[in-house]
């Protein structure tokens, strides 16, 4: 009976030690994942800021004034004179607007 008691106490100590190690490992994993979550949230915030800046830059580069400036300076485009403008009339197909 005494030997059985010693074995039971040894098993209980082993389970207690295993449980303590599991709790420590679990807490470590939670902290590691929380640090990773914070890093990813910071990265997301930085990407959101960069996205906003890129949208502002895109809107600045695509204004009518900027497009006209590039057309005149880089592409040497000019507004045609009224006598240079030709209007082209299209003939509507009898099946125009009908979907199969």
Mean pLDDT for 79-98 is 81
Residue pair 78/72 in contact (Cβ under 8 Å)? The answer is: yes
Q: What are phi and psi of 61, to 5 degrees?
A: -75, -20
What is the distance in angstroms between the CA of the first residue and the CA of the last residue of the chain? Answer: 92
Mean pLDDT for 67-86 is 91
State the greatest distance between any 2 C-alpha atoms of the chain, in Å, as a whole number.
118
99 has a pLDDT exceeding 80: no
Mean pLDDT for 6-29 is 96
Written as six digits, the tokens of 68 are 């006209």
């Amino acid at each position: 009976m005494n030997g059985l008691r010693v074995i039971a106490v040894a098993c209980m100590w082993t389970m207690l030690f295993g449980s303590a190690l599991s709790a420590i490992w679990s807490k470590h994993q939670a902290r590691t994942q929380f640090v990773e979550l914070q890093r990813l949230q910071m990265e997301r915030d930085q990407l959101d800021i960069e996205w906003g800046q890129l949208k502002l830059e895109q809107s600045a580069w695509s204004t009518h004034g900027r497009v006209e400036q590039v057309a005149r300076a880089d592409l040497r485009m000019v507004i045609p004179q009224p006598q240079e403008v030709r209007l082209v009339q299209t003939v509507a197909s009898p099946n125009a607007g009908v979907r199969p």
